[in-house]
Amino acid sequence: TEQEIYDEAGHAFNIASPKQLQEVLFVERKLPPGKKTKSGFSTDTSVLEDLASADPLPEKILEYRALAKLKSTYADALPELADENGRIHTSFIQTGTATGRLSSRDPNLQNIPVREENGRQIRRAFLAPPGSLLVSADYSQIELTLLAHFSEDENLVQAFRAGIDVHARTAALIFGCFPEAVTPEMRRTAKTINFGVMYGMSAFRLANQLRIPRGRAAAFINTYFATYAGVARFIAEAKEKAARDGWVQTILGRRRYIRGIRSTNRNERAAAERIAVNSPIQGSAADIVKTAMLRMREAMAKEGLHGKMLLQVHDELIFEVPEKEAEKTGALARQVMESVVPLRVPLRVSVETGPCWGDFH
């Protein structure tokens, strides 16, 4: 990738130097500069992403940065942290996030990329010892499931109860087509909207993310709320309740007090309102996953299983189990995790088994 960048630029330069990168992009290649910083024009990720459609070099630089981060953070660093048994021990922090989700540090094993092949290669270095297998039990779309539960939106609830692909369903509704006519690109757009709305994404930000005109992004959001009227109602009520009480709470009653929810500063209040909508969902997901961890420990002991829980990665639990207990542990995980709390829609858990962490989903 480094040589490809030099070939594309026509000469070698220090890719890690913002000053030299500015020279190559904005002077030599005459690309339109974006944000101005103290040291010149910005070459951060968002700027390079915007430039990538006009020139092949920014895309190559983004790839280089991603690979360099994988190499320095994981490929070079992790082997140095292994103990005499070849194991790496992370620390989980209970109070590391405002929503209550666990975070991981020294090293952070929750952040190894899984969507790119290079990230999966890092995960493939993590193997079960001889005679054992890894079992992954992963909540499927837990935050959207909770949005359906809290909002009681008819279309969302119906989709989850029927086991329908919610992103494809949203795509069909906002694009006005039959489900079988939904293309992968339409589904990706719908997925961005599904999650974006939940996190309070503006039309401006959605337009940037999807690389579409702002007017079209606004139309997508309007169509979404017309389709999922229950979600629009839930968002409005969550903001009103937070402004009245000064706090929001999770499904298990854990409160989060929100600073700025009554602020006269529009930006401060808007940020607080996003927290008011998002925290009950993310916080409830944290409650469910943590409760599942406790229930699984009890259930495995009761069943006389000898496996152990290795990792919690967001909505996924990973166990190391004797080979002969893998199937039973996976079935138990699904049963326990899907029944942690009663919801208006079913919690669904996907289970995978294998010798290697990198082989999962």
pLDDT tens-digit profile of 124-153? 999 999 999 999 999 999 999 999 999 999
Q: Do the domains at 2-76 and 145-278 have one common CATH topology?
A: no
Whether 39 has a pLDDT exceeding 80, the answer reads no
CATH class, range 2-76: mainly alpha
Question: What superfamily does domain 145-278 belong to in CATH?
Answer: 5' to 3' exonuclease, C-terminal subdomain (1.10.150.20)
Write down the pTM of the prediction.
0.88
Give the pLDDT of residue 351: 98
pLDDT tens-place string over residues 300-310: 999 999 999 99
For 141-189, write each residue's pLDDT tens digit: 999 999 999 999 999 999 999 998 999 989 998 888 898 899 999 999 9
Tell me, what's the pLDDT at 130?
A: 97
pLDDT at 355: 97
Q: Which CATH number fits domain 89-142+287-359: 3.40.50.2020, 3.60.20.40, 3.40.718.10, 3.30.70.370?
A: 3.30.70.370
32 vs 53, more confident: 32
- Per the listing, tokens 């080979």 go with 323
Model confidence at 232, pLDDT cuts 50, 70, 90, reads very high
Asked whether residue 38 carries a pLDDT value surpassing 80, the answer given is no
Residue 64 scores a pLDDT above 90: yes
Distance CA 322, CA 302 (A): 17
Domain boundaries, the chain: 2-76, 89-142+287-359, 145-278
Closest CA to 214 of 206, 222, 225, 226: 206
Q: What percent of the chain has pLDDT over 70?
A: 100
